[in-house]
Structure 1
Amino acid sequence: MLRLMADGEPVRLSLTMTTMKGLARLAFIAQQFGYEYENLQQGGQGVSVLSLVPDPGPQARALARENRERYPHAAEGGPLPPLAPDAIKLLKARMLLDLQRQYSDRARLALIVATLTVASLSLGMEFGKGAASVLTIAGVCWVSTAALVSVMFVISRRSVAKGTARLRAAGFTPVTDHNGRPRYVPPGGRLPGHGNPFAG
């Protein structure tokens, strides 16, 4: 990541087998070297796409110069700046909200219903014998999984509320991007990147 950041261009990392905490730590380290978190999206096959952009603010520039001097071998696997748990928690909250709002509730519901229907019918055809048996198995699978999905939706809403409260308490400001998606910007209202990346 630090080697990619060396040319001062926006960076997109496609990562698999990682945790939200790990992603937040990456974004925090990027901040220590003049970049800032822009967005996190879920790609196909469990890939998380983390977007980082240069931070043009004078404080970010000064911090980056200081850390490049103090940690000259960071990009080669050398020592890194110490982690700040509170800052990482805020980054994690922003990332979770961005992931959960990547799609609208309606779009997510439509995708889940379609996936459940196909998966349930596939199981019914695999284990059932005759149309009635196939439909019975498929129906039981669909209803059982739909109940689990409903619980997951409730947990997701609670997670959104918790993350929103954490960010508001830290002085983050709610904005709406050009896709109509709610986002949060750091105290002071500064948006990530050069200018307003949420402009149409």
Structure 2
Amino acid sequence: MSSIGKLAELAVVAEEFGYRYADVRRANGYVMSLVVDSDPQAHARAARNWAQYPEAVDGGELPPFVPDAFELLRARITFDLTNEYSDKQRATIASVGITVMALSLGVALGADATSFVIAVVVWAVLMALIPVANVTGRRYQARYAARLEAAGLTPVTDRNGRVRYLPPGRQLP
């Protein structure tokens, strides 16, 4: 999928047909995981919607969704994406990427002493921005975490040590 909003729309519709949002990750775009919802209410809702919207599977009419459900799923997806890597992992990924980019810049500029100096200066400036990006990311995460907690979702740590927010009474898939 191409955007968090489109992922949230898909998740809201999927929940109307007996699935629930499980996770999202980056891999040549965003990849969202949905699982079958084992809740009896979800089964009843799915049966009702399949009966009322039989053409939905072929691109027909879909059940209307509640904007609050969309916003909540969008916040969960955003939090999950921002919480995909730790600060240390993000710093490592950024460091490798910046180093490769600076080396490429030096070679592209002619691989002489001047281009080497320019590449080193660019590398140093970008490396100095990594801590700023991490602080900004933590603030962004905190804002979405507060929104999810205010909506009644519960923080749960998965087996990889990653914090996830789930509706009350739910467990990680």
Same fold (TM over 0.5): yes
Alignment pair present for 1:127 and 2:101: no
Residue ranges of structure 1 left out of the alignment (5+ in a row): 1-14
Letter in 1 for 2:13: I
Give 1:27's aligned amino acid.
Answer: A
**CA distance in 2: counterparts of 1:34 and 1:129, whole angstroms:** 59
Deviation at 1:24, TM superposition (A): 0.5
Question: How far does residue 42 in structure 1 lie from its aligned partner after superposition?
Answer: 0.5
| 8 Å CA contact retained: 1:121, 1:134 | no
Distance 1:81 1:152 in 2: 40
C-alpha distance 129-173 of structure 1, shift in aligned 2 (>3 A) = closer
Spell out, residue by residue over 1:93-137, the C-alpha distance to the aligned partner (whole angstroms, 9 max, x if none): 11112112222111111111011011111101111452x323211
Q: Is the 8 A contact 2:87 2:134 kept in 1?
A: no
Cα deviation 1:141-175 (Å, max 9, x = unaligned): 21343355544433322221111011101110111
Q: Report the residue type matching 1:167 in the other structure.
A: L
Paired residues for 1:70-89 under 5 Å: 70-89=52-71
Q: In 1, distance between residues paired with 2:134 and 2:87? A: 9
For these two proteins, the number of residue pairs brought into alignment is 173
Contact map agreement 2:19 2:37 (CA 8 A) in 1: yes
Partner Cα separation in structure 2 for residue 86 and residue 148 of structure 1: 36
The verdict on how the C-alpha distance between 1:99 and 1:63 changes in structure 2, with shifts beyond 3 A counting, is: same
Q: Does 1:165 align with 2:152?
A: no
Letter in 1 for 2:80: D
More deviation in 93-102 or 134-143? 134-143
Preserved CA contact (<8 Å) 2:3 2:30: no
Would you say the 8 A contact 2:79–2:141 is kept in 1? yes
Residue aligning to 1:10: none
Q: For residue 124 of structure 1, what is the amino acid of its counterpart?
A: G
Q: Which amino acid aligns with 2:162?
A: R
1:176 aligns with 2:145: no
User: What amino acid does structure 2 have at the position aligned with 1:183?
Assistant: R
Matched AA of 2:19: Y
Does the 8 Å contact 1:40/1:49 carry over to 2?
A: yes
Percent of aligned positions that are identical: 47
Once the two structures are overlaid, the 10-residue window that deviates more, 143-152 or 27-36, is: 143-152
- Alpha-carbon distance in 1 for matches of 2:107, 2:30: 33
2:124 maps to 1:143: yes
3-state SS of 1:65 partner:
helix
> Are the counterparts in 2 of residues 128 and 137 from structure 1 also a CA contact under 8 Å?
no
RMSD over aligned Cα atoms: 1.6
